[in-house]
Amino acid sequence: MVFLRKKKVKGYEYLYLVKSTWDKKRKTSRQETIKYLGEKSAVSRDDIPEEYREDAKINSFLLQNTSKDRKKYEQLIGQLRDKLFTSLTDGNLKETMNVYTSFVSNNSLDKFYEKVMTPVMTKIGHLWSNGELSIATEHVASNIAHSLVKVISDDFRKSKYDRGVVILTTPVGEDHDLGCNVLDSFLTSKGFTTFNLSPATPSESLIEFIKTARPDALFVSITLEDNIRSGQRLVKKIHNEYKKLPIFIGGQAFSQKTNFRFEGKLITDANMLEQMPQIIKKG
Ligand code: B12
């Protein structure tokens, strides 16, 4: 059984998705946090991992908690997405930075990436594929998005925490690397040391690199379905060389179909940044 638990800290309420299971031996129930969802008024259905979204209890809880605050929050997100869309397509890094700083003054970095930036990139992709946005404008927008993520990452790289080493890459053929850069910047903000080898690292180079970097985890990001095979080959080769290295695979390629076999852990929930440090720890 899953349910939402509230915790109050300094006047704010925070929500956690919790799983309760019956421990036969001890004859008591055991509770495990599946996901931290964030500040109550900001939590929406999208934050719930897909497999629990249809749970009646969770839905009714969310309905009850659709407060005025939530509506205000959704409006704010909408406005920020519009501003970000304009600043990215105008090629205006300064304004893009302003949108970012105004959001993170009250919200977390993962929410910025998941609720603001990634949906804006998706919109840009739609407009581009429908011929409503030129290739040139799409390139400008994507380059500014990369610059923003780089500024954010560089800022966090000064941190002295040492929570582990992570390598990130995409398989050969995959040029989309903003996903890797976003993961890189988020993990850096959480105190991980990252080596971002994206895009498209050949497996031989990666095998050599792992020898010296000695990572605690490897992340493989795949955007195009056509590159899943290349991803599977890459993961297989790495796994054969480093049996104990945890390998995580994810990205847009798995937004429609998810039944792919990898010699690693496939993560298909798109909104999972906040959980990553815990997932890496569990290996
Ligand atoms: C920018 C962009 C490009 C840029 C990429 C620049 C770069 N250096 O990255 C350029 C112009 C090069 C490009 C090229 C192409 N693109 Co393009 N591109 C995009 C666009 C607009 C944005 C992608 C993006 O950066 N998103 C933002 C990032 C942050 O999101 P994300 O990658 O999903 O990552 C998040 C999660 O998925 C997750 N995640 C990602 N990886 C991982 C890994 C793990 C382990 C985990 C746990 C989580 C995780 O975390 C991230 C944060 O939440 C998308 C539109 C869209 N829907 O996204 C199209 C899009 C992906 N492109 C598309 C296409 C068709 C192409 C081309 C084939 C076009 C062409 N004919 O040449 C080429 C292919 C190039 C190649 N070989 O890879 C299509 C793909 C359609 C499909 N489903 O197959 C899209 C969807 C556009 C569309 N609507 O048609 N593209």
Structural domain boundaries in the chain: 2-65, 69-156, 165-282
pLDDT at 143 over 90: yes
Look at 69 and 6; give whichever has higher pLDDT: 6
DSSP 160: -
Q: Write down the residue that tokens 């409006």 correspond to.
A: 75
Identify the weakest region by mean pLDDT among 12-16, 71-75, 258-262. Answer: 71-75
Distance of CA 140 from the midpoint of ligand 1 (Å): 15
Ligand 1 atom 66, closest CA: 224
pLDDT at 171 over 70: yes
Cβ atoms within 10 Å of 232's Cβ, excluding its own: 19
Select from 110, 137, 112, 113 the least CA-distant residue to 125. 137
Look at 199 and 14; give whichever has higher pLDDT: 199
Using CB distances shorter than 6 Å, the residues near ligand 1 are 113-114, 118, 121-122, 124-126, 129, 138-139, 142, 173-179, 182-183, 219, 221, 223-225, 248-252, 267, 270, 272-273
Q: If you write DSSP's letter for every residue of 61-110 in order, what string do you get?
A: HHHHT--HHHHHHHHHHHHHHHHHHHHHHTT-HHHHHHHHHHHHTTS-HH
Quickly state the pLDDT bin for 163 (edges 50, 70, 90).
confident
Distance of CA 3 from the midpoint of ligand 1 (Å): 34
Distance of CA 176 from the midpoint of ligand 1 (Å): 5
Given this model, what pLDDT does residue 36 score? Answer: 86
Ligand 1 atom 28, closest CA: 179
Ligand 1 atom 20, closest CA: 125
Ligand 1 atom 25, closest CA: 178
Given this model, what pLDDT does residue 68 score? Answer: 62
Tell me which of 130, 197, 252 to substitute to probe ligand 1's pocket, judged by most ligand atoms within 8 Å of the beta carbon.
Answer: 252
Q: Is 250 left (phi over 0), alpha (psi -120 to 50) or beta?
A: beta
Distance of CA 223 from the midpoint of ligand 1 (Å): 5
**Pair 267, 246: CB distance under 8 Å:** no
Distance CA 153, CA 113 (A): 13
pTM of the model: 0.85
State the sign of the Cα–Cα–Cα–Cα dihedral 32, 38, 41, 46: negative
Distance CA 73, CA 24 (A): 43
pLDDT at 265 over 80: yes
Q: Across the chain, what does the average pLDDT equal?
A: 89
Contacts by residues 3-6 (CB-CB < 8 Å, ≥ 24 positions apart):
3/57, 3/58, 3/61, 4/37, 4/58, 4/61, 4/62, 5/33, 6/40
Given this model, what pLDDT does residue 33 score? Answer: 87
Match domain 69-156 to its CATH number in 1.10.1240.10, 2.60.40.10, 1.10.1740.10, 3.40.50.2000: 1.10.1240.10
For domain 165-282, the question of CATH label 3.40.50.280 is answered with: yes
pLDDT at 47 over 90: no
Quickly state the pLDDT bin for 65 (edges 50, 70, 90).
low
